[in-house]
A = this chain, B = another copy of it.
């Protein structure tokens, strides 16, 4: 059986399925012209942003394409080609996902007029398009190139996976910028809109009189939909590729191509399980168990994947140790979800402590939130550590006798729910937008009630998705790090040992550990700066356009969209360049050992900061929600004011800096892997 072709077939099937889902979503009604107008503004703004972002990145990508093509010692052209396709596929996934999301929002609002379950279905299926597009394009890219390299270019199997690094790099570069740019965009628009709208003018969220309201809605799509899509596209592709590279350098002597192609087989099984899982998301009319209906889908695709993995493993490797490594990956996904929900849901102690601390003011609210974020690193790290330990043990005690491959398999297995996780995540901005559209077009309160019910769940799914993305990024990065070590030794057969007691490794560890701090700082400041320019524009419009507050003058929404677009693109450049140049500088100046230390440092503190920031942000957000539900004085109370401050602090924490760290970790690791053959023999130290 030709496994790469099978994986290609599965991914094309999933892509077709996504198209079918698009047709289904588009067949729904879009409501009255007022709704269509608002929706069109959001569509226009979102597409304008993506177009500009990718135009900017295209120049950057072409330069890197040329460098890769000419500077790499061998097969540079193939790597460069992979790079461009990886970048284009990532962009494509973003376009498809966002294109559907900005059309599903108005249809969700319209469905919400009559039925909660109908609205859920449109919103979720809209999100599922992104999920399927991301997963199928990633699997198609990886398996397609692998097949091409072997069959069209006649590359030996143990070398083919190494060339896939170009595809991985293309994916992670786009992911980095999409996360950074999208994250700055969404929070700058949000904070900017709130500062003038809520604080200065006293008008509610999503009020059409606020000139930044469309920008805010665009931001939800750009950040959570396109940004998260690119992020998980990258995680998916990079994890698969890292596992294949590792197999190529450590397993081909023993079992030929089987170790390399096994991850592709897992991917093919999971993509089919995802298609089936989508149909488990159903809400009985009259039921309000929205969260459970979403979880059902994820659970179903996870369990189906597990069953599939059993047979695939039996058939390909006939080793139950390896099968159990896939189970470790599935369990890790489950337990990360549970943990994240504990720290960010209004039902448990952490969020309630934050809400209670709001009673004594904003200061104590913020302290409590910071403490929750920091504390949440403990269970998350322990889960990851146990997973590393278990999967390593399983790998080492398998017939393959390869512990790292066990970790790689667990990481690939984690990917099996990626499609569903993205679907749940993209569902968030769709319902959020639907609520905004309902508000702006004066639909009856019952509609808003339905969209609010859907949106409340969206907050939790967004937090859970982040936890999942961080966890899988960490495992993927570890496998990349191992591959980096293998790659060095291939190019220079002296022993490269990343001994922590070596001063070069230590220096690298310090620099790498510091990068996530510096990077986060840039992003937090960027949100502040970009929000400031939004504030000034909104103030100008209120001042210069007569009758906005009375509803007789129409704000210039597109001006705000333009401003925040430009600001986000401008602010994404420096942190983006920092991520790309840091490993190159360290690698060439301080050498391969220091770069190895740097990878270790960036993985550890990147993981910790990402967990800390995402969970603190989610907890603050729901702490505010909990107060708004009527606790500790409810809306408008002193505690509520304090909780709003915490939520504002949490915004760039959870939606800008935190998620961008995943991309940072992997972009640095990918670049290290690419330059490894060169620095193994050429560096100053």
Complex interface: stretch among A322-330, A453-461, A514-522: A514-522
- Give the chain B neighbours of A148 by CB distance below 8 A: none
Contact (Cβ within 8 A) B524 A371: yes
- A493-510: which residues lie under 8 A (CB-CB) from chain B? 497-501, 503, 505-507, 509-510
Contact (Cβ within 8 A) A378 B648: no
Q: Is the C-beta of A126 less than 8 angstroms from some C-beta in chain B?
A: no
Complex interface: stretch among A154-162, A429-437, A477-485: A477-485
- Give the chain B neighbours of A404 by CB distance below 8 A: 503
* Docked pose: A374 CA to B518 CA in angstroms: 6
With A371-B524, A524-B370 given, is the CB distance from A535 to B360 under 8 Å? yes
Q: Is the C-beta of A195 less than 8 angstroms from some C-beta in chain B?
A: yes
With A498-B499, A509-B604, A600-B500 given, is the CB distance from A517 to B374 under 8 Å? yes
Given contacts A360-B535, A366-B649, A375-B522, 15 further A-B contacts (CB under 8 A): A195-B360, A363-B648, A363-B649, A364-B648, A367-B527, A368-B528, A370-B521, A371-B520, A375-B521, A378-B514, A378-B517, A385-B507, A389-B503, A403-B503, A605-B608
- Give the chain B neighbours of A363 by CB distance below 8 A: 191, 644-645, 647-649
Q: Is the C-beta of A471 less than 8 angstroms from some C-beta in chain B?
A: no
Residues of A within 8 A of B (CB): 191, 195, 199, 357, 360-364, 366-368, 370-375, 377-378, 381-382, 384-385, 388-389, 392, 403-404, 407, 478, 481-482, 485, 497-501, 503, 505-507, 509-511, 513-514, 517-518, 520-522, 524-525, 527-528, 531-532, 535, 596-597, 599-601, 604-605, 607-608, 612, 644-645, 647-649, 652-653
Contact (Cβ within 8 A) B366 A366: yes
Closest 3 CB pairs of A and B: A363-B648, A374-B521, A498-B500
* Docked pose: A671 CA to B268 CA in angstroms: 50
* Docked pose: A514 CA to B500 CA in angstroms: 17
Contact of A525 among B371, B478, B604 (CB under 8 A): B371
- Give the chain B neighbours of A517 by CB distance below 8 A: 374-375, 377-378, 608, 612
Report the minimum CB–CB distance from A502 to chain B (whole Å).
9
* Docked pose: A291 CA to B604 CA in angstroms: 39
Indicate the member of A363, A372, A481, A509 with the most B CB atoms within 10 Å: A363
With A374-B521, A375-B521, A514-B378 given, is the CB distance from A478 to B506 under 8 Å? yes
* Docked pose: A446 CA to B649 CA in angstroms: 41
* Docked pose: A607 CA to B378 CA in angstroms: 18
With A388-B507, A498-B501 given, is the CB distance from A521 to B371 under 8 Å? yes
With A377-B514, A485-B501 given, is the CB distance from A648 to B371 under 8 Å? no
Contact (Cβ within 8 A) B597 A362: no
Contact (Cβ within 8 A) A361 B514: no
Closest to A364 in B: B528
Report the minimum CB–CB distance from A547 to chain B (whole Å).
26
- Give the chain B neighbours of A528 by CB distance below 8 A: 357, 364, 367-368, 371
Contact of A407 among B503, B505, B524 (CB under 8 A): B503
Contact of A514 among B191, B535, B601, B608 (CB under 8 A): B608
- Give the chain B neighbours of A381 by CB distance below 8 A: 510-511, 513-514
* Docked pose: A407 CA to B510 CA in angstroms: 15
* Docked pose: A8 CA to B230 CA in angstroms: 65
Report the minimum CB–CB distance from A533 to chain B (whole Å).
12
With A361-B648, A378-B514, A604-B513 given, is the CB distance from A506 to B367 under 8 Å? no
Contact of A507 among B389, B531, B597 (CB under 8 A): B389
* Docked pose: A601 CA to B607 CA in angstroms: 13
With A370-B649, A378-B518, A645-B361 given, is the CB distance from A500 to B605 under 8 Å? no
- Give the chain B neighbours of A605 by CB distance below 8 A: 513, 604-605, 608
* Docked pose: A117 CA to B672 CA in angstroms: 58
Closest to A509 in B: B604
Closest to A360 in B: B195
Indicate the member of A500, A511, A604 with the most B CB atoms within 10 Å: A500
